């Protein structure tokens, strides 16, 4: 069943950080075989934010090209999904007002539920546009995955923001109906208020992710969703890229289906290319997978794509979309690939210093020298007030 009003992603862009750490360097300093990261996790590198970068600077960089192209005349809502909030009360997207010249006639909200919240934002956008098809909604998923130094989660760190303009009659992806959901109270991953890094039960988190995937799929099918063989590609939330094949194999097993590894790779691997070199980006991860799929696949016009969104704790959703004819002319493939290649390699000692600086909260006034080469930066935190600058 298709929405009465065709709604979906009209434009999509992303941003990442100034620095990159090659996992070969991390493996050498931790005294482990690099294959543990490259093959076991499916990760090659991870984006590391400079001292003057955070979710706001990435969100602004991701959203700017979309707003420059489409303007803000019909923009009525901005939804920023993150689990790396910079304030316990004020929505991070409000800091974007002076950076992006957002209109004052725009509702702005921050959403949180681990890595899932951007999918909730997408569903909220569908409702808003169904009510008024002339409205446009800007969704930004922005996160920095940061774990304790020398912890098991350290090699899965990363950072990125993905911005999506959701409209009626979209140019890139039409969202289908229905979706399937699954929620449960599970302590697999959480970050108490007093911590800057997450607490993780890795084995439980993997088991819960797999359970949530099959349960969300079952609810999707029970509500009239497409059959498995109707999909040309599957995009998964990627805490690390090896999880895509693992999750797809699990889904097939629950359905009593056997596929050879090359067939699984054919439907999931194109969506893992960017994540493999950026690392985990929490709420942005699934939509970075979509961007990777669009940039690395052969012609997808008219093809159906399945999406599996997962947020620890846990909430999961399975939904689908259809790629629109002519979508390629709306992509920024060369810019996306340049942005990844242009990151500055960071030395291991400098990485540890920056990690420690980010992990320690700014209690007194803090002033930041310019480190990033990106278009936006955090300049200072004075009297607990954050100030940003367009470079």
Which residue is associated with the tokens 């774990």? 147
Cβ of 3: how many Cβ atoms within 10 Å? 16
Question: What six digits make up the tokens of 130?
Answer: 């169904």
The CA-CA-CA angle for residues 275, 122, 7, to 5°, reads 115
State both tokens at 96.
Answer: 């974007």
Q: Is the distance from CB of 111 to CB of 282 less than 8 angstroms?
A: no
User: What are the φ/ψ torsions at residue 144 (nearest 5 degrees)?
Assistant: -125, 115
Tokens 């979209």 sit on residue:
170
- Give the N- to C-terminal CA distance of the chain in Å, as an integer: 46
237 counts as catalytic: yes
Distance CA 6, CA 268 (A): 26
Catalytic entry in 10, 53, 110, 115 = 115
Tell me the residue length of the chain: 391
The DSSP bridge pattern shows strands 45-48 and 75-81 to be unpaired
Q: How many whole angstroms separate alpha carbon 30 and alpha carbon 49? A: 21
Q: Can you tell me the distance from the alpha carbon of 12 to that of 10, in angstroms, rounded to the nearest whole number?
A: 7
Q: Which of 10, 237, 248, 358 is catalytic?
A: 237
**83, 317, 318, 355: which one is catalytic?**
83
Using alpha carbons, select from 141, 132, 135, 129 the residue that is nearest to residue 79. Answer: 141
**Interatomic CA distance for residues 56 and 85, integer angstroms:** 9
Q: Are 14 and 160 in contact (CB under 8 A)?
A: yes
User: What is the three-class DSSP state of 110?
Assistant: strand
The residues carrying an active-site annotation are 83, 115, 237
């Amino acid at each position: 069943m298709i929405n009465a009003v065709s709604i979906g992603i009209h434009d999509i862009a992303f941003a990442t950080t100034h620095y990159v750490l090659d996992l070969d360097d991390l493996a050498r300093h931790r005294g482990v075989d690099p294959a543990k990261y490259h093959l076991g996790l499916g990760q090659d590198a991870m984006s590391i934010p400079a001292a003057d970068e955070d979710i706001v600077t990435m969100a602004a960089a991701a959203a700017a090209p979309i707003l420059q192209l489409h303007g803000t005349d019909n923009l009525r809502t901005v939804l920023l999904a993150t689990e790396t909030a910079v304030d316990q009360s004020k929505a991070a997207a409000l800091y974007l007002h002076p950076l992006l010249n957002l209109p004052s006639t725009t509702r702005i909200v921050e959403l949180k539920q681990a890595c899932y919240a951007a999918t909730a934002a997408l569903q909220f956008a569908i409702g808003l546009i169904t009510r008024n098809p002339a409205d446009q909604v800007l969704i930004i998923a922005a996160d920095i995955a940061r774990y304790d130094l020398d912890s098991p989660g350290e090699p899965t760190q990363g950072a990125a923001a993905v911005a999506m303009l959701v409209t009626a009659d979209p140019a890139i992806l039409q969202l289908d109906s229905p979706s399937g959901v699954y929620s449960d109270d599970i302590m697999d991953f959480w970050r108490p208020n007093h911590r800057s890094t997450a607490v993780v039960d890795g084995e439980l988190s993997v088991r819960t992710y797999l359970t949530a995937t099959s349960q969300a799929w079952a609810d999707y099918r029970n509500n009239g969703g497409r059959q498995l063989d109707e999909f040309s590609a599957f995009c998964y939330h990627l805490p690390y890229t090896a999880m895509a094949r693992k999750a797809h194999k699990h889904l097939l097993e629950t359905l009593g289906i056997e596929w050879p590894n090359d067939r699984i790779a054919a439907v999931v691997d194109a969506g893992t290319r960017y994540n493999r070199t950026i690392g985990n980006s929490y709420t942005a991860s699934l939509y970075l997978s979509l961007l990777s799929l669009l940039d690395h696949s052969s012609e997808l016009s008219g093809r159906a794509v399945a999406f599996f969104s997962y947020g620890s704790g846990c909430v999961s959703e399975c939904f689908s979309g259809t790629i629109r004819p002519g979508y390629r002319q709306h992509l920024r493939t060369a810019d996306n690939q340049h942005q990844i290649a242009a990151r500055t390699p960071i030395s291991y000692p400098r990485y540890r210093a920056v990690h420690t600086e980010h992990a320690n909260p700014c209690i007194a006034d803090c002033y930041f020298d310019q480190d990033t080469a990106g278009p936006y930066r955090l300049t200072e935190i004075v009297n607990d007030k954050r100030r940003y600058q367009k470079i």
